[in-house]
């Protein structure tokens, strides 16, 4: 089941958010004022909602929606003692993986009740139940069970189209060639790093790579022609008219499209109740020692 919360950041109840925050009295008072202030005075004295894009808004929404991913966990398979429903949530985006015998109608009722208590409601047009063989999109990935029963994740086509549009827009922005290639390198590395746990065999970005290569070749040829014309005007003998070397162009493109190792279905689930205060962190990592340090105060 794919779920979508209608206007989550605009409609979420302030009191529910603040009830879940544990802070000293003065700090909580300051947080309440910040939540009520709105955006640049545009929405003064608000009783609900938090500015989407605000520094603390994702944290507050996460506090208010805590437990949403656990809905349906009371439905179990009798023989194997396994849950029939498993929820996965990231901020206000969530999906529920349901076994065929799971009661999705009951799950939907639990979702509606949970959201109603927080001043929210489900988006009917974007919430749907899909078969695993049909696939579903979540956080820029496409999850699907193929005809052989193998579960795989790939970049969603929408996400794939976005990176291509972003790279082409970067190339057309008018900056220097070096600056554009450096920016494209950062975009490609970030995109491939984000999808490193997916099946990337059909998402090599070859067509985009070739598109940038052709654009770069054209640009270099034009530059070579201009330099040749300048040499003629200045009567400089012996200066070659040569077009840009293909090898140099290929090396620049290779650098602009760095490779990142990938492994299918190697996602790591984030534990919602993980905290440095749980007492399960090795002593060597607390207040010194080790590569990571937790300063517990």
Distance set, CA 229 to CA 226, 237, 240, 241, 242 (Å): 5, 12, 11, 9, 12
Give the number of other CB atoms < 10 A from CB of residue 191. Answer: 22
Residue 70: pLDDT band by 50, 70, 90 thresholds?
confident
Q: Select the more confidently predicted residue: 55 or 204.
A: 204
CB under 8 Å to 227, separation ≥6 — which residues?
239
The CA radius of gyration of the chain, in Å to the nearest whole number, is: 27
Specify the pairing of strand 2-4 against strand 85-90: unpaired
Mean pLDDT for the chain? 79
Q: Select the more confidently predicted residue: 170 or 223.
A: 170
- Please tell me the predicted confidence (pLDDT) of residue 194: 93
Contacts 24+ apart (CB under 8 A), 217-224: 217/244, 217/246, 217/249, 219/177, 220/244, 220/249
Residue 163: pLDDT band by 50, 70, 90 thresholds?
very high
Least confidently predicted of 54-68, 104-118, 209-223: 54-68
pTM as predicted: 0.74
Tell me the per-residue pLDDT of 97-121, one tens digit each, with 9 for 90 and over: 888 888 888 888 899 999 888 888 8
Rounded Cα gap, residues 264 and 197, in angstroms: 5
How confident is the model over 238-254, as a mean pLDDT?
Answer: 65
């Amino acid at each position: 089941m794919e779920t979508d919360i209608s206007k989550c950041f605009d409609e979420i109840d302030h009191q529910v958010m603040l009830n879940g925050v544990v802070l000293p009295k003065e700090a909580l008072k300051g947080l309440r004022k910040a939540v009520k202030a709105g955006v640049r005075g545009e929405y003064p004295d608000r009783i609900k909602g938090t500015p989407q894009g605000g520094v603390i808004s994702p944290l507050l929404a996460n506090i208010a929606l805590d437990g949403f991913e656990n809905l349906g966990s009371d439905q179990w398979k009798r023989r194997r003692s396994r849950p029939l429903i498993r929820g996965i949530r990231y901020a206000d985006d969530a999906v529920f993986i349901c076994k065929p015998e799971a009661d999705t109608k009951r799950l939907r009722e639990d979702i509606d009740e949970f959201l109603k208590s927080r001043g929210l409601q489900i988006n009917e047009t974007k919430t749907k139940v899909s078969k695993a063989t049909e696939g579903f999109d979540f956080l820029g990935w496409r999850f699907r069970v193929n005809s052989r029963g193998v579960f795989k994740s790939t970049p969603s086509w929408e996400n794939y189209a976005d990176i291509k549009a972003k790279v082409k827009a970067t190339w057309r922005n008018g900056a220097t060639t070096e600056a554009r290639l450096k920016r494209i390198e950062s975009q490609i590395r970030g995109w491939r790093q984000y999808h490193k746990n997916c099946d990337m065999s059909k998402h090599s970005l070859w067509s985009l790579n070739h598109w940038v290569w052709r654009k770069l070749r054209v640009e270099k040829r034009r530059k070579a022609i201009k330099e040749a014309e300048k040499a003629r005007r200045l009567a400089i003998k012996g200066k070659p008219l040569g077009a840009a070397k293909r090898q140099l162009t290929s090396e620049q493109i290779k650098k602009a499209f760095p490779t990142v190792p990938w492994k299918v279905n190697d996602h790591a689930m984030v534990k919602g109740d993980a905290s440095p205060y749980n007492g399960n962190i090795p002593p060597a990592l607390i207040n010194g020692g080790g590569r990571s340090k937790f300063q517990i105060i």
